[in-house]
Amino acid sequence: MSATLSPALGATVLFVYAFLSNVALAVVPHEPAVIWFGPRLGILATAAIATLGTVAAAWVDHRLFATAVDRLANRRAGAMPPPSLARRWFSRAPFAVLAASGVTPLPFFPFKLLAFAARYPRDRYLAAVAAGRLPRYLLLAWLGVTVQLPFWALALAGVLLLIPTLRVFRCAIPNAN
């Protein structure tokens, strides 16, 4: 992408990318994009736009998957394993667990499933997603402004971040042989 991207187009591209990199089982990393847009849109604008895209993705996920996860959990209610440490933490402080998993590099997907299975209210879920991702995006955008990495380095980082995800999908798909 060109460094002379108009602010309106840049904001739109970032919003769409943040949405696509956070919806359902997205495989593309959001970190390089937020770092790249930081110096182009500004730290606060980048973090706010990326957060809005992420919250929109979280809304779609909640709308589409909360009922399915709830039904699956109810079908397997008799065969459920004892509560894991993550489930116990989640039941004590769901907002804090969701927000913390959004800030840290921990995978967010398991906590998303816990929220859906626990019937965590959508408004609180979306607020926790925003509370967790906004500080993360502020830090990443600040890093982009401070370090000024070239596009090729961020693209390479994106590919490297994508490799573990592709390995998981490769292992999950049975061989056609």
Distance CA 71, CA 91 (A): 19
Nearest C-alpha neighbor of 127 from the set 91, 105, 102: 102
- What lies within 8 Å, CB to CB, of 41 at 6+ separation is 7, 10, 11, 14, 49, 141
Read off the pLDDT of residues 29-57 as tens digits, 9 standing for 90 and up.
888 899 999 999 999 999 999 999 999 99
- What lies within 8 Å, CB to CB, of 19 at 6+ separation is 53, 54, 56, 57
Banded pLDDT at 177 (limits 50, 70, 90): very low
Instruction: Locate the domains of the chain by residue range.
Output: 7-82+134-172
> Helix (H, G, I), strand (E, B), or coil: what is residue 173?
coil
Q: Considering the chain, what is the average pLDDT of its residues?
A: 82
Distance CA 96, CA 36 (A): 29
Model confidence, pTM: 0.79
Phi, psi torsion values for 108, nearest 5 degrees: -85, -30
Read off the pLDDT of residues 64-114 as tens digits, 9 standing for 90 and up.
888 777 677 666 555 555 556 667 778 888 999 999 999 988 778 888 888
